[in-house]
Structure formats: structure tokens, C-alpha cells
Chain A
Amino acid sequence: MTELRYPFAAVVGQERVKKALILNLIDPRIGGVLLCGEKGTAKSTVVRGLAALTRQRVVELPLNVTEDMLVGSVDFEKAVREGVRAFSGGVLERADGQLLYVDEVNLLPDSIVSVLICAAAAGENLVEREGVSYRHSCRFALVGTMNPEEGKLRPQFLDRFGLYVEVAGEKDVEKRCEILRRRLAYERDPAAFCRSWQEESGRLAERIRRAQALLRELVPEEGVRRLASEYVLRAGCEGNRCELVLVRAAAANAAWEGRKSVTKEDLKEAALFVLPHRQREAREPEPEREEPPQQEQKEAPPDKTEEPQVSPETQAPEEPGPERELPADTEGNAGDGAPPPEEPPPEGGTAPEEEMVEGEEVSLLSILPSLPQDRLLRRGSGRRNKTRSGTDKGRYAAFTAHPGPRQHDLALDATLRAAAPYQKQREHTDCAVAIRPDDLRFKVRESHVGATIVFAVDASGSMGAQKRMKAAKEAVLSMLLDSYQKRDRIGLVAFRREGAQTLLDITSSVELAQRKLQALPTGGRTPLAAGLYRAWELLRARRLKDPEMLPMVVLVTDGRANRPLWTDDAVADALRAAELIRRDGIPAMVIDTERDFISLHIAAQVAGAMNADYCKVDELRGDQLRAIVKSGTLLGGLGD
């Protein structure tokens, strides 16, 4: 496109974003940037403006990319015409030595992410598919932008981004005015606007070139490297790449400032880009205190195991040699390649540098933005995310020669590639390509699988007592909030008096569920069995329509069942209904609202019968509840 892009130099504010990108232009081996922030903050504008400042190209990876276009595949045109199996390069080949830009990177399908991670780790793209064997070097700086509201990233993927910057809008009225003025001026006449910034852009490009030249002479000293390791250890970051990137970013920063040596300030500035997204454990936002060692230990208790495993490729130092394919076999690095980051730092005085580090350390840690992981990292079973769908729904991700019973979609491109090499031998009608049944390839699709959650809420008279209902509503509301973000589907069943009532059939409108819930009256007896049975019925009916859904029941009750469904015993009936849910393998959770001194523990029994997670409503204030759902214990623990 020849269109005139908004000049990088004309972006108001966002200094850290610009700095991070510039550092990458100075030294592409830093490995790219992840820009994370709210919508409408010039994230994409800045990245797209980069192209004018460098000889590198910005290669865009669109979200609609298919696997074969990413890694490359057989060129069927050539195959048909010349009868040769030639390889036609994909996006990865074009990205070699360039910037690879993914807008909305968190929306990238899993299969594509896996390919990217492998290629980035190996520094080359190795293709073995459709009868071609091909490899090419593939080193790129990965630039991604994302809005955390839309989803998160896998840890290995996160680590592939050299630097991380959080982007926020300007809060200052004057600056906002300037942004408005420039933007409108640009839109009115892009050509004139770009011309007026040409000189400034030229200056910037020149300064980057000088920094690149300077960088070649710049060798970070031993002390700087040690300090870098120290930072990394103390921040509790994973892997060795972190140090490497840190030293490089610091060096690039020094070069940008026109200095010939790397200072502590450079390192500190670089650390703010390099460390945040790599910290292993979420740190409490801590006040500045002067006792680092104890705090460290608190930050990273060694018994935490629910963190994703460090995969072999994330530990790999990517520096040495392009000939290495997968770094898991690097003997020499096995030792220091995986120092357990939880290891408490040396208790003092092990290295002479320690003293010089000590004071800096605390202040550094306290200014690091806390908890980016919570916003970035995807946890849990992953079952609420994209999965291969086995049907005709979803996006075209890959192809297969052996389709399942419900995959009927012809993958034309793959079919042609399969048929192409044999065209010379085959008889032709009036078509250029003769296709035989065994050439046929079918599309494998990926689709988003959200959970389908039915809330069964006790609305009996006993729930009216002691604000039980209020607590229950709060609890359900906070779970609804989470469903809203995950785009789950939900249903709402209330039970009181004579039986259960479906307040809301399964829908994706969380807002409607919330309204129904607010208006829910209480009173009468407790037909617990009927409530559970109705929830089970709803899910079962839904499952017939959509066998791939992930069902779940959340029961909110005080457990005082006193209205039976099948027999005379209300509690026994409730247990029987619970058993139905367990037998169908539907994950469940029970929120017990009983607050009486003398507890009957019926809700707990029901939870046992359903094999459900159980908790007291008092233990669950809204935000905690959300945390539970988020961390995936709910679905992860009961998923199968």
C-alpha cells in the first residue's frame, strides 16, 4: 500500500512505547515488543509508523492466516505447469530479518501460535509437509499489540517478546488536545501532514543509524552482566533469555543515548521493559522497604506448582549459532539454563558486587509494574479456549486427508497441492488439473468453546433470612461478570415453593440473566431436588444440540431441602438428582449460604454426591470468587 501512514515522530506522548520500539530497531536481536493496553491508544499506529524509520520491513501477520501460508507449502501452480514439487515460502520466510507484526496478537489461534513459538526458538523454519522438505533461516523481531480485555497469552509465547510495555491513554487535557489536533490535521490532508513531519522523521532515523553503528563497538562489561543476572534472579524471572535480552536492551539504550559504555541507568531502564512479563510469581504491590531477601522469599514460595512448566525451548539461549535446531540438547546449558528461579537469592556477601546492587534492588522492584501476568497470562485448563472442532464450524486452521464423520469441507488448496505433482501422468479432460479421490483434503476447523453454565439458585423462604439471598445474589453476579468476559453461555434456574422454574433458558446474554436475578423473589419451601433436576435437564437438552459444549452447574443454596420430588424424603431426592449430574460428568460447584450456628451440612452432602467443589458463601466475597473461576480451578479441576 502506498498510503501515507501517520508518522512515528508525530505520535504524542507514549514515550516508553516509542523507546521500546526504537531499541528494537537499534538491535533487532532484542526480540520484539509486546504492547498491551486499552483500545484507542495508538498502539497500532506507532508500530505501523516504524517502517519509515528503518530498512527493515514490517511484515504483518493477519489473524486469518492458515498454517500452510505461515510456514509455506507446495506451489501448486508450478507443480501443475512444470510437474515439479517446488516450495513456496510463507509469511515466516518473508519475515526473516524483519519485524513480524501481529495486531491483536491475543486473538491469534493456538495452532498458529505454536508454529510461531517453534520458529522463533529455533531461529529457522523447518517444513516437512505435503511431500516437501525445506528449511530456511527465520529470525524476526516479534511485535504484538493486544487489549487484555480480549484474552490472554500462553507463557511460552509471552516470553518470546523481548520487551513489554503497558500502554495507557493520556490523562492530561493539554496533551489530549494536541493528539486531537494532529490526528485531525492528518486525516484532513495526510500528504501535507507527513511532509511537515519529514524533517523530524529524518532526524530520528539518523539517530537510530548512529546508535546502530555505535552498538557494534559496545561491549557490556562483566559488572553489567552480573548486575543483569542479579536483577533477573531477584525479580524471579524464568530462563536465561531474560538476562540476554536485558543486557542487549541496556546496550541499545546506551547506544541510543550516544554513550560508549553501558551504565547502571541503562540497565535499570531496560529492566522495566524486560522483566515485567517474565516474572514467575505475581508480586504484591509492595511498599518500598529495605529488607529485600525476606521479601524475595515471600514472593516466590518454592512449593507453588500450578505454574505452567518451563518448556525446553523457553530455556534456550538463542544466541549461539543458527545451526542448532532445538536447544533442549544443549548440554552446557542444562546446568545454568534452568536455575530454579524460586531459589532464594544468596543470603549476602557471596559476590563483591552484592553491595553495589543492594540499594538499587529494592527501588527497582518497587517500580516494576505489579501483576502484569494476571492480565496477560492464560491459566487453567485451556478448555475454554479455541479447540479443534471436528465439525464444519469455526475457522480453517489446517487440513487432513482423513476427515472425521462430520468434516465435509473440501480444502481446495491442499487438495490441489496433493494432486499437482501427478498431473503429467494423469489423463485430462478440459480441466488443467485432474483430481482423484485420494487427493481430496478436508478442512480442519478451530472454534471457540465457551462453557455453558447453569446457575441453580435457591429462592426459598429460608434464603430470605440473615441476608442469605443478598450474599447469594452477589456471588452469582460476580460469576456472571466473569462469564461476560469469557463469552460463556448461561442459564438460570430458581427453585422455591412447589418446584423449579427456568428463569432464563440458555443464552449468551449475561445482562438478561442479571436482570432476572435482581428481580428474583424469595419465599416458600425448598424443592432442592427439583432445582437440580431442572438444571440437569437444561444442560442435557443443550448437549444434544451441541455435543462439544462444556457444561457446568453452579448450585447456590442453604441446603435446607424440605420439598421432595420423587419420594417423601427431600434430602434423599436432592442427593439422587445430584447423582444424575455426577453420572453425566457435568462439573459442578456448590455455594453454601447456610450461616446458622447449628449447621445441617446438607449442601456439603449434595456437593459430595455431585463430586462438586464446595464452599461457604462467606468465604467467597465477590472478587475472590472471580479469582477462583479465573484461575480455572473450577473448570480445570473438574474438566474431565
Chain B
Amino acid sequence: MERIYPFTAIVGQEQMKLALILNLINPALGGVLIRGEKGTAKSTAVRGLTELLEEVQVSEGCPFHCRPDRGELCADCREKQEKGTLRTVPYTRRVVELPVSSTEDRVVGSLSMEQAIKKGEKVFEPGLLAQANGNILYVDEVNLLDDHIVDVLLDSAAMGVNTVEREGVSYSHPARFVLVGTMNPEEGDLRPQLLDRFGLVVEIRGEQDISLRSELIRRRLAYEADPEGFCRSWEPEQAALREKVRLAQAKLGEVTIPDSLYRDAARIGVALQVDGHRSDITLLKAACTLAAFEGTGEASREQLIRVAPMVLTHRMRRMPFDTATGLPEDWESVLHD
């Protein structure tokens, strides 16, 4: 199998990398949308996540790889659990790709043709959303996705459950995934509702610094000449990052939030006139996750401000053509009112 370009070997694009890592640590952040021009390592970074994902225990033979330790089980697994026959096997989380040309029945699942014709039985054949449960669902060129596929994605992203009522089958299964999308804004925009579902959004551009650019080319050529050797030489960095992520995951639950930080998040929400409350919640969660990643026991205002652009840019009420981001230059003044 072809080796994937190592995540840690990507030059620059720190915001993007941070956003992805935060989502690895805390799947509840709601995913990442990466907006940027062509050839800025968007897809490389997302695919590179594969090697950073951890091994977990999932129930044996379950098409949704339910995790008994997380408590969200499909109907079959629940039945097994009640009978005491639920067994677990190790499973490495992965990146599931949803191609832009996907049809709805492949995404949500459908009637199994084989079972129906051979045995005359009505059996649900799981689709991509089933594969995505507990994993990362990656949509390249997410802005080109058909509207009705987007609707279906929204439906299950919101609830973490995929409810199917189609083609003679009626079925419901857990579908909790980290949604990662990449897009080139020149090819059209995303609908506001889908945009809001992405916890974080990062805008990226090609690196402008000459020395960084030449480093980038050097690494890329080295990788293409000898993928195996290149990946081996990056393994220590990869291992270090994996370890750091794992540690952060363990610590996440213990990060404390000072009282003042709740107020800060609420103030920002009011001052910037964001729609609804999802951004306040994501802001705090992202700050906590960053604190876990950086090993501080308590989330700080400084960390909150650092994640704020990723959380807020796409949620501000602005006319579609405003080029200004509308983010305040001086956060302290917003928070001191």
C-alpha cells in the first residue's frame, strides 16, 4: 500500500494543522472546514490524519463499529449487551471519504440487493454514514456536493443518528463522526446551515515565505523519490504527536474552566452578533481542547482568543460579499466592556 505523506512533515499551515489536531483530541468539536486555493496541502493534511488515529475497542462484527465504552450502541449491539454476548475487538479509527459523486443510497444505506433477491429478505445494507460512525468523514470539494446529499449529512451530523426511511427499509443507527471538508471558495459557497455545522473553519493560502516554500518542495520531492524512507525518517515526529494527542485525550475531561471564561465566551457571542449559541459552546470547548493539548490544567483567556478566529469567522452575521472578516483587532477591548 502506498504510504501517506506524514502529517508532521507538512510545512507551515499551522492553523489548519491545529484545527485538525483539536478535532482528533475532541471529536465533539464538530469538525473542520478548510477553505483555500488549490495546492495548499488541504487533502494531504486530512489524509495524513489516518496515521495519527488511535486504536479503540469496538464490538465484534458490528457494521457501525459501536464502542461499548462510549455507551452509544446500535440495536444489535444493545441486544447482545443485554444478553451478555457482546465482545470487543481492536479497531483503528480511520478517515472515510465521501466522494462528491456519491448517491444518496450509498450515503445513508439502502435495501440489500443480494439478500432481497437471493433470500427474499428485507435487510438493510449500511452506507457511508455507517462506516463513518466513530471515524472521520472527509468530503473533498464539499461545496460541490449535491444539495440533497448535504441535507442528509446535516440531518445525521446534527443528531449523531442516521435514520433511514427509504426503499422499503426502516432503520436507525448511530452515526457520530467528525466532519472534515475541504473546498475552494472560488467554486461556490456552502449553505449557511452546513457552514454552521462545522465547528471550526480555517482559511488557508499558499505559504508566501520563500524559504518555507523551498523547504516544502524539498520534502515533497524527497517523499516522491522514496516514500518508504521518507516516512521512516518522520516516524519519530509522528510518534511524538500521536503520544501528545493521546495524552491530551486523557486529560481533556479534567481541564477546568474558570468562571470568567464563561462570561468571556458569552460576551464575544453578544458583541459579534453571532447566530445562536453554537459558537459560544464551540468556543469554550475548543479552548478546553487547546488547554489539554498544551498541557495546562485550566483553559485561559489567551487560549480562548487563539481559537476564536477558527470558531467565529464563519458564524458572524455579515453580508455575503463583505471581504472584511469582521473580527475585532483587539479582543481585550471586547472582553472588558
Contacts and interface: CB of A to CB of B under 8 A. Distances in A.
A170 B277 contact: yes
Contact of A176 (B151, B164, B193, B280): B280
Contacts of B117: 416, 431-433, 435
A44 B158 contact: yes
Contacts of B108: 64
B104 interface: yes
Interface string B251-276: 00100010000110111011000111
Contacts of A481: 319-321
A83 to B, nearest CB: 11
Contacts of B151: 63-64, 104, 107
B102 interface: no
Given A39-B275, A169-B275, A173-B267, A510 B167 contact: no
A169 B276 contact: yes
A332 B75 CA distance: 51
A184 B267 contact: no
A188 B281 CA distance: 13
B154 A104 contact: yes
B306 to A, nearest CB: 19
Nearest to B110: A412
Nearest to A168: B276
Interface string A160-188: 00000000011111101101110110011
Contacts of A411: 167
Interface stretch (A66-74, A359-367, A368-376, A555-563): A66-74
A173 B259 CA distance: 13
A40 B275 contact: yes
Contacts, number: 209
B188 interface: yes
Give the residue among A1, A184, A511 with the most B Cβ atoms within 10 A: A1
Given A80-B120, A432-B120, A396 B166 contact: yes
Contacts of B280: 176, 179-180
Contacts of B122: 76-77
A430 B119 CA distance: 9
Contacts of A80: 120
Given A64-B104, A66-B167, A512-B186, A180 B262 contact: yes
Q: How large is the interface on B (under 10, 10 to 19, 20 to 34, 35 or more residues)?
A: 35 or more
A217 interface: no
Interface string A407-440: 0000111001100100100000011110100000
B191 interface: yes
B155 A69 contact: no
B170 interface: yes
Given A63-B152, A481-B319, A511-B321, A39 B276 contact: yes
Interface string B157-196: 0110101111111101010000000000111110111001
A395 B149 CA distance: 8
Contact of A511 (B78, B113, B263, B320): B320
A508 interface: yes
Contacts of A65: 165-166
A173 B193 CA distance: 24
Q: Which of B71, B105, B188, B266 has the most CB of A within 10 A?
A: B266
B262 A60 contact: no
Given A395-B104, A432-B117, A509-B185, A68 B277 contact: no
Contact of A69 (B161, B168, B276): B168
Nearest to A38: B275
Contacts of A412: 110-111, 113, 116, 167
A2 B71 CA distance: 9
B121 interface: yes
11 contacts: A39-B192, A40-B278, A65-B165, A69-B169, A169-B277, A179-B281, A183-B281, A394-B146, A416-B116, A481-B319, A509-B189
Interface of A: 1-3, 38-42, 44, 48, 60-66, 68-70, 73, 76-77, 80-81, 90-91, 103-104, 107, 109, 147, 149-150, 169-174, 176-177, 179-181, 183-184, 187-188, 393-396, 411-413, 416-417, 420, 423, 430-433, 435, 446-448, 477, 480-481, 484, 487, 507-512, 514
Interface of B: 28, 71-73, 78, 104-105, 108, 110-111, 113, 116-122, 146-148, 151-152, 154-155, 158-159, 161, 163-170, 172, 174, 185-189, 191-193, 196, 253, 257, 262-263, 265-267, 269-270, 274-281, 284-285, 319-321
The 4 closest A-B pairs by CB, nearest first: A40-B276, A40-B278, A176-B266, A80-B120
